[in-house]
Amino acid sequence: MISKSPPVGRIYDVNGPNYPSFDFSKIQQGALNLIQAKQCIRRRVHDREVDNERFLTIKGSQEYLETIEGQRCLVCGNNVLGYEVNAFYDPYVNNIMVPLPFLEFPVFHESFPRSFLHGSIGSIIGHEISHSLDENGKMYDGNGDKREWWKRNWTKEYDKRAQCYVEQYGNIKIPEFNISLNGTLTLGEATADNEGLKIAHRVHQKHISKLNESAKTETVDGFTQDQLFFLGFSQMWCRKTAEFTLYERLFDEHPPDEYRVNMAAMNSPSFANAFHCSSKSKMNPKHRCAIW
């Protein structure tokens, strides 16, 4: 059952912790103007729990808006600016936000293969959607109010499945420093990476199923449609990381980029099928983590 509200439908699944249902029929586009941004800030503090950090963020947003009166900007949910190359989920208003610069080269281009874009942009959007049901997002209902709306057995089953990610990521040791990741700290982002990839791949499969046989088997530079999907996903995180930056990531909720890619791919049976990984390959393990 879905209670619809733009830009992304409210998320409810009466069957509990099975694969959730979403509604994308009312996705909005364009920029929030100054008035909309101020209204957003006011909504955040009306009948909501606001901790010190959140209060300072809201106060800073108001002060910033007062200095740019009359300008068009995109400010709402985590104080997002229209020129920021990132995507966000805001539990306080239950929506995701993808600023326009995120949809420009080299992240996005109309010449990129459709399957490649499913893996790149699709996995990012899936990532943000998944945050709505991570260990923090699931504490907020469809209206963005913090309350316990899950049944106890749902929460128990969710925690059981989430513990797999905690242990899996906690067993990752960064060789440069001989330090293991904090699986509890990275749980929210690990969940979003893995489940977001799954959401994107389902969209990809649905698209492929509608193609004719010739298009389904078409390759680009020798890569199949499914392989292009995972290449698009991994390309997003391909970068050179300075050692001091890598060290900082050990204490960040986001795992280092290498592991964001490899762990999500490893937990995806579709990845192993796409690249014909042997049963002995670490990228095709017997036991995988999954929540939905």
Q: How far apart are CA 186 and CA 263, in angstroms?
A: 12
- Given 90, 128, 134, 189, the catalytic residue: 128
Q: Which residues pair with 24 in a beta bridge?
A: none
Instruction: Find the catalytic residue in 90, 141, 189, 193.
Output: 193
Does residue 179 sit in helix, strand or coil?
Answer: strand
> Tokens for 6?
């733009």
Maximum Cα–Cα distance for the chain, whole Å? 61
Beta strands in the chain (DSSP E): 88-90, 95-97, 173-174, 179-180
3 state SS of 95? strand
d(CA 39, CA 183): 37
Q: Is the dihedral of CA 32, 56, 139, 122 positive or negative?
A: positive
Q: Strand 179-180 vs strand 95-97: parallel, antiparallel, or unpaired?
A: unpaired
Q: Which residues contact 121 (CB under 8 A, 6 or more apart)?
A: 103, 107, 108, 232
For residues 196 and 99, give the distance between their C-alpha atoms in angstroms, rounded to a whole number.
18
Residue 128 falls in the annotated catalytic set: yes
Instruction: Report the sign of the C-alpha dihedral through residues 252, 191, 31, 109, in that order.
Output: positive
- State the amino acid at position 156 in one-letter form: K
248 counts as catalytic = no
Residues catalogued as catalytic: 128, 193
